[in-house]
DNA sequence: CTGTTAGCGCCTTCAG
DNA sequence: CTGAAGGCGCTAACAG
């Protein structure tokens, strides 16, 4: 039979006799034949591929995000090209060479602040772009409200009665302009202001990302003249560092000092860390759906539909575990050690 | 000028005048032109792509491995297609559908035990396969010697004078046949036997992978009649769980009980966990090189070269931190809290 | 419903 | 050293 007929059969196209199709499929099965996606793409246009640009694949947050994205994209039968853009040089190289060019229908930047120059380079690719975990004025995105998450953490401390509260923030040399920072910091400032607490500059540290750095910052803070009764840390992995400092000093948590983080990292549950949960995997899934929307939009050119839902903010929630209590730690007020088991 | 000339110029082919080439390249640059990799692949054969099959991308070990692979493969200008094969159903679906078929030149299975049926399916793809993190009789692989790693951990405990030692192993429903298990378990058995210590079956637990499960196992062990003075845990993430159990019970580590893990997870340093380091990222890099070798081999069909170096075992090393000491914990013998800072 | 005919964008002999 | 064909494996109009 003819080539075209076979092609139609394999693609479930219209206008083909069920019998013929069945025959084709059977033969294909017998020969273990599958169409070449590359050749198909060449003829049809549109790779079913999207590029994933991710800074630190070996950190939980990014891994979970990728897992979420992969899950729904795989289901939609689109492939993922992984570009690990770790350090600054990697980053430069990526945007200079644009290795994903002509290879994908879309790119997802994962928790990755895109600068103006970089945006210009990306535009060159001529494909849709979505940002996962980090808002963007230019692209469809999904993220949490970092300010709100921060407020949930701090307000919790304030409500417990803490007045002397430290903050450990972090920056990442590899991620200049990481957007979560400012929101989480502003939350601290505002919350204290609203509670009538003067901003304790001597209790604020801004470290390079990493648990050991956070531990050092915690040490530094505790060495101060008037140490805090509670510490707000920008993320759980940093909080774990702070916690190790506390343990090393044989300070009791939460009796001597309370500790709250953000993220709900798997290890947070393990050590009973009070934190603000963000659904990372779900964000990934949503990002993937944004991608699929974009692809459909491109295919059908229906610009007037759903062009507003391109910005999704998912909710966060305080998870109270065992590292927070009123100052001095009233045992009665102390929550269960492991809340969800 | 002609199409062919341009093609030659872009590919640095032989037989082209430097001037002409330069002119072509300049124009290409000006037009922001890049060749279509898909079309090129169609004409030339050989996608420059490899598939990465990874079970739990959101766990540190797998992420680090992927990072290592990506680093060298990106440098060689080959792209990575990511297939996240988490649960058993994912796995079945992947091997049934073989979504990477005809899309890649090789596939890397990351710490992923491949069964016979699965191997047969993979063979269908007709591409080279390498195993990263887990030995394989069939494929080129890179991994550590799990038995040896286990021995390094246990022998350390034995040398410190411990005679009552517990073991927490783990299995993963998603990774049936995980090869590291047996080696790490045998190490325990052999080491005790050599030291003349009878195997304490009541101190051995085999849990589902996960920190909380390990914590529960630790609880269970400590509730026993004659608790151990030291615990050997199959991996750091489990050890962190065990550690949380110890902390919760206000047991002093290492004075009351010593703890040793395997992996050197980033958090191990944070909490001062004594462990056996394995260079995960490096294993990824080596796996990537095995892939490149295989690709070259295919291209040039030079079967007689380096066909023996296909199995690499990388070294592990004991890292003594703060969770191990002689039974009872002689302060003098106690190593520095944070060894490498 | 099915076969024919063009390409998709590139590489590669083969003659100039 | 360069240009002119042919083809990689498939799909998409077209006719039958």
Chain segment A41-65, per-residue pLDDT in tens: 899 888 999 999 999 999 999 999 9
Specify whether the CB–CB gap between B87 and B93 falls below 8 A: no
User: For residue B302, is pLDDT > 50?
Assistant: no
Q: pLDDT exceeding 70 applies to what percent of chain B?
A: 93
Contacts of B211 in chain A (CB under 8 A): 266-267, 269-270
**Amino acid B5 CA to nucleotide C12 C1' distance, rounded Å:** 12
Give me the B residues in range 38-77 that sit within 7 A (CB) of strand C. Answer: 39-40, 42-44
Contact B341 A212 (CB under 8 A): yes
Q: What is the mean pLDDT of residues B48-72?
A: 97
Question: What pLDDT is attached to residue A46?
Answer: 86
Nearest Cα residue in chain B from A237: B267
Q: For A138, which DSSP code?
A: S
Residues 6+ apart with CB under 8 A from A20: A1, A5, A9
Contacts of B62 in chain A (CB under 8 A): 63
- State the pairing for strand pair B317-319/B274-277: antiparallel
Contact A42 B38 (CB under 8 A): yes
Q: What is the mean pLDDT of residues B44-73?
A: 96
H or E element in which residue B280 lies: helix B280-300
φ, ψ of residue A144 in degrees (nearest 5): -100, 170
Confidence of residue B298 (pLDDT cuts 50, 70, 90): low
Confidence of residue B330 (pLDDT cuts 50, 70, 90): low
Sheet-wide strand order for A165-171: A204-208, A165-171, A230-233, A258-263, A274-277, A317-319
- Paired tokens of B166: 């517990």
- State the pairing for strand pair A317-319/A274-277: antiparallel
- Paired tokens of A206: 């801004």
* Strand ranges in B229-295 using DSSP code E only, listed in sequence order: 230-233, 258-263, 274-277
**Amino acid A22 CA to nucleotide D14 C1' distance, rounded Å:** 25
Contact B212 A269 (CB under 8 A): yes
Contacts of B64 in chain A (CB under 8 A): 58
φ, ψ of residue B196 in degrees (nearest 5): 75, 25
Contacts of B36 in chain A (CB under 8 A): 42, 102
Tell which residue, B224, B251, B221, has the closest CA to residue B233. B221
Footprint of strand D on the protein (CB under 7 A): A 3-4, 7, 10-11, 13, 35-36, 39-40, 42-44; B 1-5, 8, 15-17, 19-21, 39, 42-43
Residues 6+ apart with CB under 8 A from A8: A15, A16, A21
Q: How far is A39 from chain B (nearest CA, A)?
A: 6
A270, A281, A334, best to mutate vs chain B, most B CBs in 10 Å: A270
The pTM for the full model equals 0.92
Find which nucleotide's C1' atom is closest to B43's CA: D8
Stretch among B244-248, B322-326, B327-331 having the lowest mean pLDDT: B327-331
* Residue from the list B57, B70, B267 with its beta carbon closest to the beta carbon of A267: B267
Specify whether the CB–CB gap between A288 and A68 falls below 8 A: yes
Contact A81 B77 (CB under 8 A): no
Nearest Cα residue in chain A from B54: A67
Contact A64 B58 (CB under 8 A): yes
Give me the B residues in range 10-29 that sit within 7 A (CB) of strand C. Answer: 10-11, 13
- Paired tokens of B177: 């046949």
Establish whether the CB of A17 is closer than 7 Å to any nucleic acid atom in strand C: yes
- Which residue has the least CA–C1' distance to nucleotide D13? A4
Chain segment B123-146, per-residue pLDDT in tens: 999 999 999 998 888 899 999 999
Establish whether the CB of B5 is closer than 7 Å to any nucleic acid atom in strand C: no
**Amino acid A88 CA to nucleotide C3 C1' distance, rounded Å:** 56
- Paired tokens of B22: 């330069």
User: For residue B194, is pLDDT > 90?
Assistant: yes
Q: Which nucleotides of C are covered by protein (CB under 7 A)?
A: 1-5, 7-13
Specify whether the CB–CB gap between A312 and A257 falls below 8 A: no
Specify whether the CB–CB gap between A305 and A312 falls below 8 A: no
Give me the A residues in range 252-291 that sit within 7 A (CB) of strand C. Answer: none
φ, ψ of residue B224 in degrees (nearest 5): -65, 170
* Residue from the list B56, B64, B124 with its beta carbon closest to the beta carbon of A32: B124
DSSP H helices in chain A: 3-10, 18-30, 37-44, 60-75, 88-97, 116-125, 146-159, 180-194, 211-222, 236-248, 266-271, 280-300
Establish whether the CB of B1 is closer than 7 Å to any nucleic acid atom in strand C: no
**Amino acid B9 CA to nucleotide D10 C1' distance, rounded Å:** 28
Determine the Cα angle at A266 with ends A262 and A269, to 5°: 80
**How many CB pairs below 8 A link A and B?**
144
**Amino acid A16 CA to nucleotide C1 C1' distance, rounded Å:** 6
Contacts of B34 in chain A (CB under 8 A): 98, 101-102
Contact A102 B71 (CB under 8 A): no
Give DSSP secondary structure letters for A41-107: HHHH---SEEEEEES-TTSHHHHHHHHHHHHHHHHTT-EEEEEE--SHHHHHHHHHH-TTTTT-SEE
Radius of gyration of chain B (CA): 25
Question: What pLDDT is attached to residue A334?
Answer: 42
Contacts of B60 in chain A (CB under 8 A): 58-60
**Amino acid A43 CA to nucleotide C6 C1' distance, rounded Å:** 11
- Which residue has the least CA–C1' distance to nucleotide C5? A4
Q: Residue B325 to residues A285, B168, B256, B262: CA-CA distances in angstroms?
A: 46, 19, 9, 17
* Residue from the list A42, A77, A124 with its beta carbon closest to the beta carbon of B42: A42
Specify whether the CB–CB gap between A316 and A145 falls below 8 A: yes
Contacts of A212 in chain B (CB under 8 A): 269-270, 341
- State the pairing for strand pair A79-84/A274-277: unpaired
Nearest Cα residue in chain B from A99: B77
- The 10 Å CB-count burial string (b at 16+, else e) for A216-227 is bbbeebbeeeee
Q: How far is A82 from chain B (nearest CA, A)?
A: 5
Question: What pLDDT is attached to residue B299?
Answer: 53
Tell which residue, A132, A180, A324, A215, has the closest CA to residue B266. A215
Q: Cα(A28)–Cα(A15) distance, rounded to whole angstroms?
A: 19
Query: Tens of pLDDT along chain A (341 residues)?
Result: 777 888 888 887 777 888 888 888 888 889 889 999 999 989 988 899 999 999 999 999 999 999 999 999 999 999 999 999 988 899 999 999 999 999 999 999 999 889 999 999 999 999 999 999 988 888 999 999 999 999 999 999 999 999 999 999 999 988 887 878 899 999 999 999 999 999 999 999 999 999 999 999 999 999 999 999 999 999 999 999 999 999 999 999 999 999 999 999 999 999 999 999 999 999 999 999 999 999 887 654 444 444 445 899 999 999 999 999 999 876 444 444 433 33
Average pLDDT, chain B: 90
User: For residue B333, is pLDDT > 80?
Assistant: no
Tell which residue, B189, B169, B188, has the closest CA to residue B179. B169
* Strand ranges in chain B using DSSP code E only, listed in sequence order: 49-54, 79-84, 106-110, 128-132, 141-144, 165-171, 204-208, 230-233, 258-263, 274-277, 311-314, 317-319
Contact B244 A79 (CB under 8 A): no
Q: Which nucleotides of D are covered by protein (CB under 7 A)?
A: 1-13
């Amino acid at each position: 039979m003819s080539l075209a007929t076979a092609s139609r059969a394999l693609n479930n196209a219209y206008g083909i006799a069920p019998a013929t199709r069945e025959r084709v499929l059977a033969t294909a099965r017998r020969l273990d034949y599958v169409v070449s996606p590359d050749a198909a793409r060449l003829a049809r246009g549109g790779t079913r591929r999207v590029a994933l640009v991710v800074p630190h694949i070996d950190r939980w947050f990014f891994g979970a995000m990728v897992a979420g994205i992969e899950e729904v994209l795989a289901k939609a039968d689109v492939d993922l090209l992984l570009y690990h853009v770790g350090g600054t040089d990697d980053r430069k190289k990526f945007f200079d060479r644009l290795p994903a060019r002509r290879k994908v229908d879309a790119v997802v930047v994962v928790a990755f602040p895109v600068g103006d120059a970089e945006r210009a380079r990306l535009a060159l690719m001529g494909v849709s772009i979505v940002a996962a975990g980090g808002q963007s004025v230019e692209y469809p995105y999904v993220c949490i409200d970092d300010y709100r998450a921060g407020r949930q953490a701090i307000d919790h401390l304030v409500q417990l009665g803490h007045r002397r509260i430290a903050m450990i923030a972090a920056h990442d040399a590899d991620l200049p302009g990481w957007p979560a920072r400012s929101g989480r910091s502003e939350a601290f400032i505002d919350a204290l202001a609203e509670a009538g607490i003067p901003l304790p500059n001597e209790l604020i540290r801004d470290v390079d990302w990493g648990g050991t750095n956070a531990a050092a910052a915690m040490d530094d803070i505790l060495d101060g003249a008037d140490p805090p009764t509670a510490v707000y840390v920008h993320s759980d992995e940093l909080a774990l560092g702070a916690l190790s400092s506390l343990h090393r000093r044989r300070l009791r948590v939460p009796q001597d000092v309370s500790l709250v983080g953000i993220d709900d990292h798997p290890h947070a549950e393990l050590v009973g860390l009070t934190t603000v949960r963000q659904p990372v995997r779900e964000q990934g899934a949503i990002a993937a759906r944004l991608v699929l929307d974009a692809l459909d939009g491109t295919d059908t050119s229906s610009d007037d539909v759903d062009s507003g839902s391109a910005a999704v903010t998912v909710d966060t929630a305080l998870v109270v575990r065992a590292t927070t209590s009123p100052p001095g730690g009233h045992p009665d007020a102390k929550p269960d050690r492991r809340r969800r088991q």
